[in-house]
Amino acid sequence: MRKQVTILDIQKMKDEGTPITVLTCYDYPTARIMDGCGIDVILVGDSLGVVVAGHENTLPVTVDEIIYHSRAVMRATPRAMVVADMPFLSYQVDIPTARLNAGRLIKEGGAAAVKLEGGTNMADTIRAITSMDIPVMGHIGLTPQSIHRMGGYRVQGKKEEQADRLMADALAVEAAGAFAVTLEGIPQKLARKITEALTIPTIGIGAGPGCDGQVLVLHDILGLCEKYSPKFVKRYADGRALIADAVSAYIAEVRSGEFPTEAHSFN
């Protein structure tokens, strides 16, 4: 069995200038394929609320849902490091609740680390969770759980004052003990500056090529989502067409009597 990726490997990759590859995933068969391809980190993101469950945004996702999907992913990943997202309301209310929920994602979900959104405002929470020996990935910039404050999914840090605040957030997340930080939806120059200022790795999504690693939502790169395709997504497959072709062929063959044949039947 190949060696499991750990936070030490992730740090070494930054130190050696090796790009860190991260994708979201929510189920066993897909995670098995991705692990076999050599992905470094799988994020069981709360994006599952949108791309799997069909919600408008990530806010309805629960800890139990993340645990369910993490367990499926974890069983399929002898190599990749699995990071479980902390959903809305699982860490913002108070620190004891945050510690308990982070612990559940590790104990029940089987993840090796958790991710939570927020910068300076979440530093004490990150410190409290890492003090339980649970590795935390930060997430700053366009934080989808803050959709109502941001007034939609908008690039953050375009103005100098906002950019300074994001730099302060990144430094606060690192000082609080996070092992990495996701930079989402920020100008590429700012992402590069933050990456150079931090000793921990930055994982970009819509933050340009200057980050230590990249993360995207799996359903986006597979072309499975019909609704919203942000500028930063690159589609690597036409998954909707692939599924539609297979399902249409099945329907046609059942209707025509072409399936099943002797080969698919028992005597």
Site string for ligand KIV, 61-100 (x = CB under 6 A): ------------------------x---------------
Q: Which of 14, 46, 65 is nearest to 184 (CA)?
A: 46
Bridge-based pairing of strands 202-205 and 180-184 is parallel
- Looking up tokens 């559940």, which residue turns up? 104
Residue 66 backbone phi and psi in degrees, to 5: -65, -40
Q: Say how far apart CA 252 and CA 256 lie, in whole Å.
A: 6
Site string for ligand KIV, 200-219 (x = CB under 6 A): -----x---------x-x--
Residue nearest to ligand KIV (CB): 45
Smallest separation (angstroms) from ligand KIV to the CB of 60: 13
- Looking up tokens 């200038």, which residue turns up? 17
Burial of 254 (0-12, 13-18, 19+ CB in 10 A): exposed
Question: Binders of ligand KIV: how many residues, by CB under 6 A?
Answer: 11
117 is in an annotated binding site: yes
Q: Smaller CB distance to ligand KIV: residue 24 or 254?
A: 24
- Among residues 45, 110, 185, 204, which is the contact residue for ligand KIV, using CB under 6 A? 45
Contacts of 140 by beta carbon, 8 Å cutoff, 6+ apart = 117, 118, 119, 166, 169, 170, 173, 181, 182, 183, 184
Site string for ligand KIV, 214-253 (x = CB under 6 A): -x-x------------------------------------
Q: Is 44 left (phi over 0), alpha (psi -120 to 50) or beta?
A: beta
Smallest separation (angstroms) from ligand KIV to the CB of 205: 5
35 is in an annotated binding site: no
227 is in an annotated binding site: no
CB-CB contact of 117 with 150 (8 Å)? no
Of 38-46, 62-70, 228-236, 255-263, the segment contacting ligand KIV by CB under 6 A is: 38-46
Q: Say how far apart CA 113 and CA 184 lie, in whole Å.
A: 19
Q: Which of 16, 184, 196, 253 is catalytic?
A: 184
Smallest separation (angstroms) from ligand KIV to the CB of 160: 25
262 in catalytic set: no
Both tokens assigned to 55: 């919600």
Write out the binding residues for ligand KIV, residues 108-167 only, by CB under 6 A. none
| Residues labelled catalytic | 184
List, as residue ranges, the binding site: 46-47, 85, 115, 117
List, as residue ranges, the binding site for Mg(2+): 46, 85, 117
